[in-house]
Chain A
Amino acid sequence: MSDVVLSLQNLHKRFGALQATNDVSLDLRPGEIHALIGPNGAGKSTLIGQIAGNIRPDEGSVYLAGSEITSMSIAQRARLGLGRSFQVSSLAEPLSVMRNVMMGVQALQSHSFRFWKPVARDRQLLEPAYEALARMQLSHRAWTPVFELSHGERRQVEVACALALKPRALLLDEPMAGLGPEGSAKLTELLEALKLEVPILLIEHDMEAVFRLADRISVLVSGSVIAHGDSHTIRQDPRVREAYLGDSDA
């Protein structure tokens, strides 16, 4: 257990009559991609909310690198090393790519109440951000405004933003959504290289990508994890076939 990076223990969340999360326990270990899949309405977004910090669980706890983060704010979790990307792009459109990516670096280095030195000439701030961009092969777009980027590039910038936090764990919410086969293949390649440094909890609809990338897969149905294992096990699991693959368009 000591080398678990991110761990969810017995999470419960109820909205009125709906049990959105029902006794979910999961962990993420160094060097792996752990995929979380499930049909629409399975409670994936609620679970992500509880990991990222915008939803408080009713019961259970979340640990990041050994410290409990269950009741921390989104920003506190991020500073502790939880990098996150969103299903729908959350970048500030009018700003340059660099301006988006550098926020994470800024958060790590100190508080933001520095009023004098212009960021445009601040190597201490820009170089790490530039490095994070380079990791996603986007350094040539550093000073391009986000609204000029292609959809695929935005996806890469989202991941770069998370990387700027020097994260201990990455939480990627459907990074492949809306990507064509080419973009999807490219991102798959980038994530594969990345996982050796940062383990990734991947929530993804694209089954192709999940089976290729994931070391382990957990299947969420109606708020509960109904199956867990490597891609081979999951493919064979009759409950998964019935609950998920059988009646889904994936």
Chain B
Amino acid sequence: MSVTLLIEQLLNGVQLGTMLFLMASGLTLVFGVMGLINLAHGSFYMVGAYATAAVTASTGSFLIGLAAGMTAAALVGALVELLVIRRLYHRPHLDQVLATFALILIFSEGTRWIFGSSPLWLSPPSWLTGFVTLPGDTRYPIYRLMLIGVGIAISIALYLLISRTRLGMRIRAGESDREMIGALGVNISKLYTLVFALGAALAGLAGALVGALQSVQVGMGEPVLILAFVVIVIGGIGSIKGALLGALLVGIVDTLGRVYLPIFFQAFMPPSEATGVGSALAAMLIYILMAVILAFKPKGLFSAHD
């Protein structure tokens, strides 16, 4: 219970937030540009992690593994878009939910078939293990700090991509007026495949990076997917800015809640009970946050779509 703990937990919160942003940005882009709700986004997270683990194990290089993971996720994303997703753009959301739910089943069981049920081993390279000492004598793992750095770099890159490039211009045009960009002669189906693959690559990157921290196993994408949904609902579906803000908010609130709520309840409860109540409440905290935000802003903080 000190400043050190607070700094450490804040950093953990930001780290969770940046990884959530990698997931949420793809989801929100796909929804903003194509109007599609994609449950299978968590599968790309898993694909990225598995490919990274497999390639890292065979080459011995984490960086090559990471590149392979992102590439695999992007390729799988593009393939899925070509085979299934493009049939769903003009369908009701219910159909989109079910078809992408079907994709989750296919990906999860397929992965279990190929790799088995036990988790794969993936750890960060030796040059990323260890601690740094931050001001205030906080010792913090280098790898987690690196995750924050990657998250920030990707946020900036995405911002530049969307605001400064031709592709970004088309994405923005697609968000505001889907018919319009067709009329402008932009090849919509190519754009859609590209955006979808980009989102998948980011999800795959997140999966690989987090996989090295936790474990690489079937179903790993699902809790993250649901957190990412909470993020984009809070931020406003279709808004990248909202996704960034929502991700940081969810990351920090969730992390701090898990640490401080049990401590808080110990002030007036026996410790064993306080831990139970505190952790149960902490698990609900971000959903309560979401409910409160929606009660005031039913379309999220930065709604891009009506």
Question: Do A and B touch (CB < 8 Å)?
Answer: no
Q: Report B's interface with A, CB cutoff 8 A.
A: none
